[in-house]
Amino acid sequence: MAGSPKVFVARRIPEDGIEPILAACDARVWEDDLPPPRAALLEAIRGCDGVLTLLTDKVDDEFLDAAGAQLKVVSNYAVGFDNIDVPAVTRRGIPAGNTPGVLTETTADLAFALLMAAARRLPEGDRYVRAGNWKTWGPLLLLGPDVHGATIGIVGFGRIGQAMAKRARGFGMTVLYHDVHRADAAVEAEHDATFLPLEELLPRSDFVTLHVNLTDQTKGLMNAEKLGWMKPTAVLVNTSRGPVVDGAALATALKAGTIFAAGLDVTDPEPIPMDHPLVGLDNCLIVPHIASASRATRGKMAEMAAANLLAGVRGERLPTPVNPEVYDRA
Ligand code: GLV
Ligand code: GLV
């Protein structure tokens, strides 16, 4: 549309998001399944009023310079925004948006699925059957820990961490948590959750599940030392960000049996290279960053990302900005 805001959408997203964008903007959508290479991205965003980005698109000074001074909004199709240099966009007074809330329950569902599948060895069992190894009912075949009644240690007690607590209570689990901010007494009571420092939470937990944002403080949080605090029977679940776990240290621990199993939705890097030591381990379940991948949730994320993009190009306040401070200094 002539005179409409110019936007670039860095990948095909569900129709719920694409439709309103196409209706209101002069929009170009990157049609390839793979992300735009850096040079193509920088070229595509030149002169844009708004850009809809994914976790795979790094938004930094180079990106902002390439777009130009007219850029009014960066809308990230994700709740996490570690791909965005927030101080850089904020310095330029540009609001950035994310999609919080809508993916909380869907992500917790997947985290719980990983927890159960890693504990009860579902991928190994499936491989065993398909390899033709199933000869009889085996009293000692594919034994793992119980999920019900176990102790879960939730690291990062935000929306998704609390949604995990709700599921864990349904399985009669004891809920421990750690967070940089201790939750209100009412929230602790609602989830019957006990706050502990990591050095106490990790040795007590049968399951450790990570729900922190990736920051300088959480990068490498689960290193060799902290993995060493976990029980040899324990399972680690990561649906947060790959770099929160030291992958080499995790592979060493899984191989040595100092922890029992891991279920990972995120790795460092992504995709995980096929020669990474974790890929060769039977007790490491890995799925390709699909925690929010239900049809309904991806549709809602698309609606939210479109709403942020359209508000931004119209000069309105984003419904869900990650840097609301841009609005404080007008
Ligand atoms: C996915 O990882 C997200 O942050 O939405
Ligand atoms: C993300 O941090 C969430 O809890 O939704």
pTM, rounded to two decimals: 0.94
CA of 244 to the centre of ligand 1 (A): 14
**Which range of residues forms the domain containing residue 66?**
6-102+295-328
Percent of the chain with pLDDT over 70: 99
Answer yes or no: is 266 within a domain: yes
Structure tokens at 39: 């040079």
* 135 and 270 within one domain: yes
d(CA 111, CA 239): 6
Same-domain check for residues 258 and 126: yes
Which of 77, 27, 71, 73 is CA-nearest to residue 56? 77
Predicted confidence (pLDDT) at residue 329 exceeds the cutoff of 80: no
Q: pLDDT-based confidence at 330, cuts 50/70/90? A: low
Pair (98, 192) in one structural domain: no
Question: Strand locations in 135-256, DSSP E?
Answer: 151-155, 174-178, 193-195, 207-210, 235-238
279-323 pLDDT per residue, tens: 999 999 999 999 999 999 999 999 999 999 999 999 999 999 999
CA distance 51 to 309: 7
Asked, for residue 12, whether it belongs to a domain, the answer is yes
- Ligand 2 centre to CA of 162 (Å) is 10
All residues at 6 or more sequence positions from 222 whose CB lies less than 8 Å from its CB, including other chains: 208, 210, 236, 238, 244, 245, 246, 249, 250
Does one domain contain both 154 and 170?
yes
- Residue 318 and residue 265 share a domain: no
Q: Are 270 and 322 part of one and the same domain?
A: no
316 part of a folded domain: yes
pLDDT score recorded for residue 3: 84
- Taking all residues of the chain, what is their mean pLDDT, rounded to a whole number? 97
The residues annotated with a catalytic role in the active site are 241, 270, 289
What are the tens digits of pLDDT across the range 37-92?
999 999 999 999 999 999 999 999 999 999 999 999 999 999 999 999 999 999 99
Residues 50 and 88 occupy one common structural domain:
yes
Q: Give dist(CA 154, CA 152) in Å, integer.
A: 6
Residue 167's closest CA among 123, 109, 242, 210?
109
* Domain match, 238 and 130 both: yes
Same domain, 95 and 109: no
pLDDT per residue as tens digits for the range 200-230: 999 999 999 999 999 999 999 999 999 999 9
Among 20, 31, 10, CA closest to 77:
10
The answer to whether residue 157 is domain-embedded is: yes
Domain-located, residue 108: yes
Domain CATH code at residue 89: 3.40.50.720
Does 211 lie in the same domain as 91?
Answer: no
In a domain, 208, yes or no: yes
For residue 1, being part of any structural domain is answered with no
Q: What is the pLDDT of residue 246?
A: 98
- State the total domains in the chain: 2
Whole-angstrom distance, CA of residue 179 vs CA of residue 15: 37
> Which atom in ligand 1 lies closest to the alpha carbon of residue 81?
4
Predicted confidence band at 138 (pLDDT cuts at 50, 70, 90)?
very high
Q: Are 179 and 201 in contact (CB under 8 A)?
A: no
| Averaged pLDDT for residues 175-187 | 98
What was the pLDDT predicted at 2?
Answer: 58
In a domain, 140, yes or no: yes
- Protein residue with least CA distance to atom 4, ligand 2: 159
Residues 128 and 208 in one domain: yes
Query: What's the gap in Å between 294 CA and the centre of ligand 1?
Result: 13
101 Cα nearest atom in ligand 2: 5
**Do residues 73 and 177 share a domain?**
no
User: In whole angstroms, what is the distance from residue 239 CA to residue 18 CA?
Assistant: 27
- Nearest CA residue ID for atom 5, ligand 1: 78
